[in-house]
Amino acid sequence: MSGALAGETALVTGAASGIGRAIALALAREGAEVVLADRHSAAETADAIRASGGDTWECPVDVGDEAAVLRLFETLRQRRNRLDILVNNAGILIEKPLLETSASDFDRLMAVNLRGTFLVGREALRMMVAGSGGRVINVASELAYLGRANASVYCASKGGVLSMTRSWAREFAPDIRVNALAPGPTETPMLTGGSTSPETLAKEGDNPLGRIGRPEEIAAAAVFLAGPASSFMTGQCVSPNGGAAMF
């Protein structure tokens, strides 16, 4: 396919659902070959990409499992030996009052959101350094800035993602650009649990634009960060959030 990313290979974690699925579709529309990495089947995403003429393949992984992440990159080396774009998107949310949050809840959440971002990011950056550079996009959350009652561990994990983003941006400049996305509430299974009740939509959409986001609106920001239009940006956080947090 032609497009700003034609000839490039992109890896998207958490590509089976929600924001990751939308980002994978959008990168493929720009011409990138997209590797779909999820702990669940991403076959539906793959079918949608192929149906619109895009190029894709699946590589199942649990991003918190170091051996599985190393296997993913071994497969990538054997099949392509190049990586231009990483979207570190896989994440989970555990909402509980702090006083009911166990150490295993903390470990389970950090294993995906922070350790997973670290493991996949480290291996992707290793490949990009050995190749001809690249772009990394880490998916954080507006909650890293705002905080949220009953979600402090999630918020802390996303604060860690933002902090790693800035350090990686400094460590790997100028050949590799590393930026973050901090979406506001977005209509995905993580937010709605499959039910978009008017109460949920009204509560989550309490921002100047008066609504929650669509996955495609977050994907548009990812395409911007992945492509040449953001060539003078690194270490930044782009925040499609309806204006809930302003910087």
Q: Which is nearer to ligand NAD, 112 or 128 (CB)?
A: 112
Q: Which is nearer to ligand NAD, 3 or 216 (CB)?
A: 216
CA torsion sign for 161, 105, 120, 56 is negative
Q: Which is nearer to ligand NAD, 141 or 234 (CB)?
A: 141
Q: How many other C-beta atoms lie within 10 A of the C-beta of residue 140?
A: 28
Catalytic pick from 154, 168, 172, 224? Answer: 154
Q: How far is CA 79 from the centre of its chain?
A: 23
Q: Which residues bind ligand NAD (CB under 6 A)?
A: 13-14, 16-20, 38-40, 61-64, 89-92, 112, 116, 139, 141, 183, 185-186, 188-191
CA torsion sign for 75, 93, 40, 25 is negative
Q: Is 145 a catalytic residue?
A: no
Q: How far is the CB of 141 from ligand NAD (least distance, A)?
A: 4
Q: How far is the CB of 4 from ligand NAD (least distance, A)?
A: 23
Lookup: tokens for 137: 């996009």
Distance CA 219, CA 107 (A): 29
Beta strands in 70-215 (DSSP E): 85-88, 134-139, 176-181
- CA distances 219 to 24, 80, 151, 182, 223, Å, are 8, 24, 24, 12, 6
Would you call the peptide bond into 174 cis, given omega within 30 degrees of 0 as the criterion?
A: yes
Residue 244 DSSP label: S
Q: How far is the CB of 187 from ligand NAD (least distance, A)?
A: 7
Q: Which is nearer to ligand NAD, 30 or 38 (CB)?
A: 38
Q: How far is the CB of 6 from ligand NAD (least distance, A)?
A: 26
Q: How far is the CB of 181 from ligand NAD (least distance, A)?
A: 8
Q: Which is nearer to ligand NAD, 122 or 131 (CB)?
A: 122
Q: Length of the chain, please?
A: 247
Q: How far is the CB of 157 from ligand NAD (least distance, A)?
A: 8
Q: Which is nearer to ligand NAD, 1 or 162 (CB)?
A: 162
**Cβ neighbourhood burial of 124 (10 Å; 0-12, 13-18, 19+):** buried
**What SS3 state is found at 24?**
helix
CA angle 11, 12, 14 (to 5 degrees): 145
> Among all residues, which ones are annotated catalytic?
154
